[in-house]
Structure 1
Amino acid sequence: MLNFYPGPSKVYSEVRAYMQDAYDEGILSTPHRGEQFVQLSRAVVGSIKRKLNIPQDYYIFFTSSATECWEILIQSLTTHKSFHIYNGSFGEKWCQYAKNLRPKSEGYKFDVNEPMPVDQLEISTDTELICFTQNETSNGTQVSATTILNLHNKFRDTLIAVDATSSMAGLNLKLIKADIWFASVQKCFGLPAGLGIMACSPRAIFRAKQMNERGHYNSLVSMYEKMLNYQTTHTPNVLNIYLLKRMLEDREFIKSIDQQLSDRAEDLYTFFSQFTDFKLLIENEEVRSKTVIAIEAPERLVDEAKKRALYHNIRLGNGYGPWARNSFRIANFPAILDEEYEELKRFFLHYYA
């Protein structure tokens, strides 16, 4: 089965051997307060900073998912409100969840074919956290490094949090331009679902210490204190942390991976542009995602293409949110091989050219 679903997506083929090694090394039953786990955790933190170009003074945390990070950040870094900038379903969900915890939180929705309008944003001084999704999985858009820099420069005094679920470990993100970045591993990391990675700046940790919110098992200040000794507040997904360690050791540096995905994204967009029955959901090249390709077509054709592809052992991603019925999505993640995309292209040429 060729899996182009945008998460959970294809895992690296080496994961099978990694899991056998984890069993043989006793990782599956190691105590999470023991020395074996501490050494594992320390190694992962070092590798993830080195391979993903994360600033050395940022702190790394393990969570269950990116969705859990939404909760952690709102409860541990805000007492009043956050401000959410979004153009798709996942950014909007984060905003709504924040409002459930902090009713005064605000949201700003912008068009999918426009860059984030930083110059138009009016964010009040009592806002404690600015939130956005760098790569909106639901519609195949992304926020550029230049836009993030402009946002950082305009609101220097406010913490900025970025959901990078569909881009971390795939794109060479400039993490220094925001205070918090987080992702789940079932996308560009090429690992099974069940683990989230969060990177926090010293400024974010300072704010967490100031608030000193300790009412939850995943309160950020408690997580910080435990990770000083490379431990977690809870029993973590030790197997996935081990898989993360092995994956990072065997992968290239993020700059090389970014180039590979960028080239492949350009090729895929060019390929799908030639069809008359399909069109690219995002018309503006400037804001198209490099890791999630969204294709639009009439509902009947989308349904037919997904079913026909599945019959040929090719899994396309469903559309999502407002685009659920009239689009499908194709993951452009590092674990998926070039030859698999060639087979995908042969399928579309055979049936729809």
Structure 2
Amino acid sequence: MDRQCIYMDHIAGTPVAPEVVEAMMPFIGDHFGNPASIHHLGEKPQDALFQSREKVARLIQAEPEEIIFTSCGTEANNLAVKGAAFDRMEAGKHVVVSAVEHYSVLYAAKALQKFGFEVTEVPVDGHGMVDPEDVRKAMRPETVLVSVMHANNEVGTIQPLKEIARCVHEGGALLHTDAIASVGRIPVSVKDLDVDLLSMAANQFYGPKGAGALFCRKGVQIWPLFHGGGQEDGRRTGTENVAGIVGMGKAAELAVERMAVRGAKVRRLEAMLRREIAERLDEVRFNGHPESHLPGLVNVSIRYVEGEALLLHMDLRGVCVAGASACMSITAKASHVLEAMGLLDDGAYGTLLFTLGEGNTEDEVRRAADTLSEVVTLLRSMSPLCQARR
């Protein structure tokens, strides 16, 4: 990575840890065999899959046989939503999702409508929080699946999943959670959360892209999206990406070891970034729950600037962040998350999302805040809305 670049977009993907790269390399080279092969070249890849499954299971306090490896988090979400719904369609054709789900859940649910399913969206409050009672009210006798994410990837709000799980199970449905943003960042226990299905992705906790997993609680059946050779107990058939899975296993192992230290560091840097932004700029709004949110995530809306311009000018100055697209531009697609939170009524805000990681420093936080102040000052000087207020 460019040494001059300040990378604060860890929700899009974390750098791959050197230990992860080292663990993967033998399976790109000498141990290239297919784990399904009977001959000796299949032995080490097969052993590696077994060990990686154990490591990923340990990260979320699951059993190894409850882990299904996928190509990414989006596939895991699709397998959970479509797989659970199709398997239970004789019992009912109603699915409940929250309004702030990732598009891989929302669009998977929308696709079910072509097969006769009905989908109900549960609202959120101004912090992006789902009320468990709203979930209970949305359920019907024919509800077969509810999907509510563990932590939102835009504003970081952590949902009250234990309470939601109680409502869902009392209604006789399955609960899936998209935990892609939270697994590896904060402690996640499928036993404690009492979920039936949980999605995760390696590139969120210093593992490689192209490796994800779905936790499927023992006894829960899902309809496979793929059919073929029977890998992953027939639930996700296809030759496994052994190197990627090994990388995910190693990343999971490191996450267990380092989560507390990583979390403490990014919480400190997050607090510093919020403070530095607030001291430099007026008319800013921090989005998401003030307490129950992912560490290291700062979603900030800034008045009288356009979101895409913010993002591009930050990048030109070497600061890599994400845009939530809650901006004034009619060409930009507004954030459905901020819209669901009721924060798009006044369109005169541009929004940026900073997500910090273990490699960030206090000096980078100060430089990022200085750069943001410089960019906002420039853009406001050209903004007709800002000029009008004067």
Give the TM bin, normalised by the shorter chain.
Answer: 0.7 to 0.9
| 2:196 alignment partner in structure 1 | 179
The reply on whether 1:149 has 2:157 as its aligned counterpart is no
Computing the radius of gyration over CA atoms, which structure comes out larger, 1 or 2? 2
Identity of aligned residues (%): 12
1:93: Cα distance to partner? Answer: 3.6
1:173: Cα distance to partner? Answer: 1.7
Alignment check: 8 A CA contact 1:280 1:295 kept: yes
Could you list the runs of 5+ residues in structure 1 that have no partner in the other structure?
A: none
The reply on whether 1:63 has 2:70 as its aligned counterpart is yes
| 1:248 alignment partner in structure 2 | 252
Aligned to 1:322, the other structure's residue is in SS state coil
The reply on whether 1:217 has 2:227 as its aligned counterpart is yes
Alignment check: 8 A CA contact 2:94 2:145 kept: yes
1:332: Cα distance to partner? Answer: 2.9
Alignment check: 8 A CA contact 2:81 2:176 kept: no
| 1:39 alignment partner in structure 2 | 47
Q: Deviations over 1:37-83 (max 9, x none)?
A: 22111111111223x24233760111112221232223322212321
Alignment check: 8 A CA contact 2:127 2:157 kept: no
| 1:326 alignment partner in structure 2 | 350
| 1:135 alignment partner in structure 2 | 151
The TM-score with structure 2 as length reference comes to 0.73
State the AA in 2 paired with 1:81. H
Following superposition of structure 1 onto structure 2, how do residues 156-305 of structure 1 map, counting pairs within 5 Å? Answer: 156=169, 157-176=172-191, 177=193, 178-187=195-204, 189-204=205-220, 207-208=221-222, 213=223, 216-217=226-227, 225-226=233-234, 233-251=237-255, 252=257, 254-277=259-282, 279-282=284-287, 284-298=289-303, 300=305, 302-305=307-310
Alignment check: 8 A CA contact 1:41 1:241 kept: yes
Aligned to 2:180, the other structure's residue is in SS state coil
Change (3 A) 1:58 1:310: same
Query: Residue 359 of structure 2 is aligned with which of 330, 337, 342?
Result: 337
The TM-score with structure 1 as length reference comes to 0.80
Alignment check: 8 A CA contact 2:149 2:179 kept: yes
Alignment check: 8 A CA contact 1:4 1:315 kept: yes
1:218: Cα distance to partner? Answer: 8.4
Change (3 A) 1:302 1:342: farther
1:199: Cα distance to partner? Answer: 1.1
Aligned to 1:186, the other structure's residue is in SS state helix
Separation in 1, partners of 2:252, 2:275: 31
1:316: Cα distance to partner? Answer: 1.2
Alignment check: 8 A CA contact 2:226 2:237 kept: no
The reply on whether 1:347 has 2:360 as its aligned counterpart is no
Aligned to 2:214, the other structure's residue is in SS state strand
Aligned to 1:135, the other structure's residue is in SS state coil
Alignment check: 8 A CA contact 1:116 1:143 kept: no
Alignment check: 8 A CA contact 1:272 1:280 kept: no
Say how many residue pairs are matched: 331
Q: Deviations over 1:275-305 (max 9, x none)?
A: 4246344164145443532121246464454
Q: Deviations over 1:4-25 (max 9, x none)?
A: 222134332445544544445x
